[in-house]
A and B are shown apart, each in its own frame.
Chain A
């Protein structure tokens, strides 16, 4: 191995750590948001249904944090990465941290995200990083159900009553500006795509739009024009409620460092 190879490998290690961490943060934060419904959902069935999806995401986050910690090799573990980093250190997209709002907002947030993640995981299954590929293979099955669950609800809310239609369309309009970030690829992602490790998000756009178009047609909802999109989550610039989310999520590890049960 020449000196330049060593440098390249080291650089990629840093990239891979950051990439795994972003994916872990996406999953952890959405899992936390969905978990807020536990005991508060409109019906018992949906209370359990949303908690199931939350637990799928938390499971994905655990695997990804553990992988990130191993890549980093500094002795940190999944708990330290999830519960002891500060707001600006989180690289999740803004979509997943958006407040639950009403039930329609929670469902539309899930549809926007899962309709992206399903083809994402399918492509990541071919990653040169064997652990990411294995995590993707497990997550792909979960994402398939998440799309189904949120799509069926979107159809019924959109094509339901006058009020449910209005709320579903409002949810679409509120969340739409946060969907553009899903397709952002900075230099870090581009380097990992070139190395066959990461997925080029732009390659998922057509499938994402096709999924949404099909669901929205049936739901009689209107897909907004491309327009202007929010950005910042990947570089640690989060929305107003994010600090509150972390406060709740991280309380136990910060109050009782190293706590296990």
Chain B
């Protein structure tokens, strides 16, 4: 199977209603329906999911690893941005 005939798709699974879809891996498939089935077969075998998204990997725009310094280092010194100074009431649940 070649990339040309079966391109790569990124798989996102939502584990429970109300939660966000999370990236869990990728599959090769010829088209969107086959990608959805492959994602179901590979990533939801243990009851992990209630919803699946598949996205062509080629559609993802990614940051360049060589730009890591300008992109991410400036935030390293700004610990005051972390919400660790708040107590989150239990009833709020997942944030």
A-to-B contact residues, CB < 8 Å: 42-46, 48-49, 52, 148-149, 152, 156
Between A and B, 19 residue pairs with Cβ closer than 8 Å are A42-B1, A43-B6, A43-B28, A44-B28, A44-B42, A45-B27, A45-B28, A45-B29, A45-B41, A45-B42, A48-B42, A48-B45, A49-B38, A49-B41, A52-B45, A148-B37, A152-B34, A156-B31, A156-B34
Write the chain A residue with the least CB distance to B30: A156
When the two chains form the complex, which single residue of B1, B28, B30, B41 contacts A48, counting CB atoms closer than 8 Å? B41
- Which residues of B are found within 8 Å of A42, using beta-carbon distances? 1
Given contacts A43-B28, A45-B27, A45-B29, whether A152 and B37 have CB atoms under 8 Å apart is: yes
| Chain B contact residues, majority secondary structure | mixed
CA distance A46 to B29 in the complex (A): 10
Task: Name B1-54 residues within 8 Å CB distance of A.
Answer: 1, 6, 27-31, 33-34, 37-38, 41-42, 45
| Chain A contact residues, majority secondary structure | helix
B-to-A contact residues, CB < 8 Å: 1, 6, 27-31, 33-34, 37-38, 41-42, 45
CA distance A52 to B46 in the complex (A): 11
- Which residues of A are found within 8 Å of B38, using beta-carbon distances? 45-46, 49
Starting from the known contacts A43-B28, A44-B42, A48-B42, 4 additional A-B residue pairs (CB-CB under 8 Å) come to: A45-B27, A148-B37, A152-B34, A156-B30
Write the chain A residue with the least CB distance to B6: A43
CA distance A33 to B33 in the complex (A): 26
CA distance A45 to B38 in the complex (A): 6
CA distance A49 to B36 in the complex (A): 12
Question: Shortest CB–CB separation between residue B59 and chain A, in angstroms?
Answer: 19
Given contacts A42-B1, A44-B42, whether A149 and B28 have CB atoms under 8 Å apart is: no
